Amino acid sequence: MMMATTMEDRKDQMVFWIVVFALFLLTRIPAMASYLSIDNVNLAFSLEKFDPRIHQPQPPGYPFFVFFARMVNIIFRDAGRTFFVISLLVSAASLSAAYALAGRMFSRWAGAAATLLLLVNPVFWHSSLDGPLRPNLALFSLLTAYCCWRCWNGEKSFAFRGALALGVGSGFRPDLLAFLLPLWFLSSWAGTKSWRSVLQASVLLVAVICVWAGALLIAMGVVENFRTVMLGYAVEQS
């Protein structure tokens, strides 16, 4: 557990985060791509018309990401600047989530080490430069893991928070469901020891999934289109 912070601890943390975010900006902004890759072109088209059938964006569609990007794009009115800002925001939030998770599991020093290691991780670095979508894998994986850890250690309300994190995250990256659903389910049972609580949290998870799945159904017109596109994507990619 993370211990209560003193005034000196807060000053140390402030200095640490100033250094981290300075390094983060220095290693990202100068190296950001000045063009859109093929996938990001599809994402840019989805800001105008959302329809995964014509790869706006490419399947599986990422409905919550598109919604979030459209909100940001209201401010910037330019896909390139919008994606640049989203990538920075999500990547920075991932660093904070890594600190929270490692700090909760071990200590503040472990949290600081995890943050710095993630900052210079080549895959994370390249993903944050390449586009705005993949950093969401890091953010929502860490948020879900954080909730799972706290639930596993007896904080029962985090079964529901984990369901919310996983449900929302899957609306950004649907493949997170395949990776993290077993972890969430096991930690929810271990932490609550109650099938009723697990069922209630599962209802919340399904409800959030239904929101983004419903958005996909509406965009694709009919269930058959949805089934064809999603099955084709799963077969091709998996």
pLDDT single digits (tens) 199-234: 999 999 999 999 999 999 898 887 887 788 878 877
Residue 2 has pLDDT above 50, yes or no: no
**Mean per-residue pLDDT, 166-195:** 96
Q: When comparing pLDDT for 33 and 141, which is higher? A: 141
Rounded CA separation 131/86 (Å): 9
Residue 10 has pLDDT above 80, yes or no: yes
pLDDT for the residue 226? 78
Residue 83 has pLDDT above 90, yes or no: yes
pLDDT for the residue 176? 94
pLDDT for the residue 234? 77
Q: What is the CA radius of gyration of the chain?
A: 19
Percent of the chain whose pLDDT exceeds 70: 97
The phi-psi region of residue 45 (left if phi > 0; otherwise alpha if psi is between -120 and 50; otherwise beta) is alpha
Name the least confident of 53-62, 101-110, 165-174, 224-233: 224-233
Here the contacts of 104-111 (C-beta below 8 Å, separation 24 or greater) are: 104/1, 104/2, 104/146, 104/149, 104/150, 105/149, 107/2, 108/2, 108/3, 108/9, 108/13, 111/2
Residue 197 has pLDDT above 80, yes or no: yes
pLDDT for the residue 223? 80
Per-residue pLDDT band for 235 (boundaries 50, 70, 90) equals confident
pLDDT for the residue 101? 98
**Mean per-residue pLDDT, 53-60:** 89
Mean pLDDT of the chain: 93
Residues linked to residue 51 through DSSP beta bridges, in sequence order: 56
Per-residue pLDDT tens over the stretch 111-168: 999 999 999 999 999 999 988 999 999 999 999 999 999 999 999 999 999 999 999 9
